[in-house]
Amino acid sequence: MTCESCIPHQLRFELLFEGADNKAMVPLLLQHMKRQNGWYDHRENVVIVEEAFIHDLLDFCRDHMNATNIYYRLGRQDWQEFHTISSVLEASWIDQLIAEKRITPYYQPIVDREQTLFAHEVLSRSFREDGSLIPPGEFFNSAKKRNRLFALDKLCRLTAVAHSSVLHNQKVFINFLPTSIYSPEHCLQTTLELAHRMQANPSSFVFEVVESEKVDDLEHLKTILRYYRQHGFEYALDDVGAGYSTIELLRELQPTYMKLDMKYVRGVADNPYHQEMAANMLEAALEIGSIPLAEGIEEERDFHFLKRLGFQLFQGYLFGKPAPSPICRTGPLTEKKHN
């Protein structure tokens, strides 16, 4: 069983034609598609066409129809205004990136209160042909435009698991996008099978709930997290305090780890508002038994403040930037300063 988002293939665009004039032109559009030997389907004022023929269809629509009353979508996405379709076509490079599995794991250390190595977060990076880095936000935004978020998220997740064997006796933090997962039993099966083939202890993996958008179906998210927990994995809630990752969501999901958003971490030693927010998030985490982790630490003064406050784990450039190889040595990762 596969779904249309699992692997790159020929995209199929649904085009919705509204307005009497546009609807009247649909039969002529279908005749045009038939003459071009293009694959298409239709129902009333909706026409479905493959990407290979979309440019020709766009020319027809622009020449003979009112483009302001035309909308499109891919898969389960919402209807989009017709003029934005060019951004989807321009993002087609992401299909090749996924097909060629051009994801490279990078490792960033996570330390405990004594600055001793506790875990690594395995991050996803990709590079252009000239060797320059593609910002992760860029390839995830392109995947979203083309309805490829699940395919990309799956590739990143499996790459991280496959390269976790170098992290002996450490926790492995891995990001995932729950809104890209339709059914945990199907969509997460490959992750579970790979971990078993590697004879890895499931409890060493911590899957981070990464969401930049509101979780509309909280019960679906809970189902995904229950699946992880039932199979021995742990999970974390990322960016707590930012956007939709609120204290309420923290209490609903009860993750093993709570990661305080970096906007409250940076400069916290000198910012009373950030101090209050950090204290509130810490209290909520401890209330439900989550281990509090502060990410984005760049200054020692912020580390020491959050340590005194009660945070237990820490991540940030102070201890190490994401790198193609993990840190192997033990002991404190930063030099302790003596007064």
**CA dist list (Å): 173 to 13, 18, 79, 124, 188:** 36, 47, 35, 12, 16
pLDDT of residue 36: 75
Please state the separation of Cα 320 from the chain's center in Å: 22
- Position 228 pLDDT exceeds 60: yes
3-state secondary structure of 203: helix
Share of the chain above pLDDT 90, in %: 58
Share of the chain above pLDDT 70, in %: 89
pLDDT of residue 221: 85
Q: Quickly state the pLDDT bin for 308 (edges 50, 70, 90).
A: very high
- Is pLDDT larger for residue 56 or for residue 324? 324
Q: Quickly state the pLDDT bin for 210 (edges 50, 70, 90).
A: confident
**CA dist list (Å): 303 to 58, 172, 279, 315, 321:** 55, 22, 14, 9, 16
- Is pLDDT larger for residue 90 or for residue 7? 90
Please write down the long-range contacts of 217-221, taking CB distance under 8 Å and 24 or more positions apart: 218/249, 218/252, 220/178, 221/178, 221/253
- Position 41 pLDDT exceeds 90: no
Q: Could you tell me if 315 and 111 are in contact, meaning their C-beta atoms sit under 8 angstroms apart? A: yes
Residue 179: count of CB within 10 angstroms of its CB: 20
Q: Which of 19, 108, 112 is closest to 66 using CA atoms?
A: 19
Exposure class string for 83-93: b at 16+ Cβ within 10 A, else e: eebeebeebee
**Quick one: 178 exposed, middle or buried, by C-beta within 10 A (0-12, 13-18, 19+)?**
buried
**Quick one: 44 exposed, middle or buried, by C-beta within 10 A (0-12, 13-18, 19+)?**
exposed
Please compute the mean of the pLDDT values over residues 18-39 and round it to a whole number: 87
Count helices and strands in the chain by DSSP H and E runs: 13, 14
- Position 135 pLDDT exceeds 50: yes
- Position 1 pLDDT exceeds 50: no
Which of 17-31, 85-99, 181-195, 217-231 is least confident? 181-195
C-alpha–C-alpha distance, residues 221 and 194, integer Å: 22
- Position 339 pLDDT exceeds 50: no
pLDDT of residue 334: 60
Q: Quickly state the pLDDT bin for 103 (edges 50, 70, 90).
A: very high
β 257-260/291-295 pair status? parallel
Which residues lie below 8 Å from residue 158, measured CB to CB, with a gap of 6+?
Answer: 190, 191, 194
Q: Quickly state the pLDDT bin for 250 (edges 50, 70, 90).
A: confident
Please compute the mean of the pLDDT values over residues 112-129 and round it to a whole number: 94
pLDDT of residue 6: 54
**Quick one: 238 exposed, middle or buried, by C-beta within 10 A (0-12, 13-18, 19+)?**
buried
Q: Quickly state the pLDDT bin for 337 (edges 50, 70, 90).
A: very low
Please compute the mean of the pLDDT values over residues 327-337 and round it to a whole number: 59
pTM for the complete prediction?
0.86
Highest mean pLDDT: which range of 33-47, 51-65, 120-134: 120-134
pLDDT of residue 338: 38
Average pLDDT, the chain: 87
Domains of the chain, start order: 12-90 (3.30.70), 102-315 (3.20.20.450)
Q: Which of 123, 130, 98 is closest to 108 using CA atoms?
A: 123
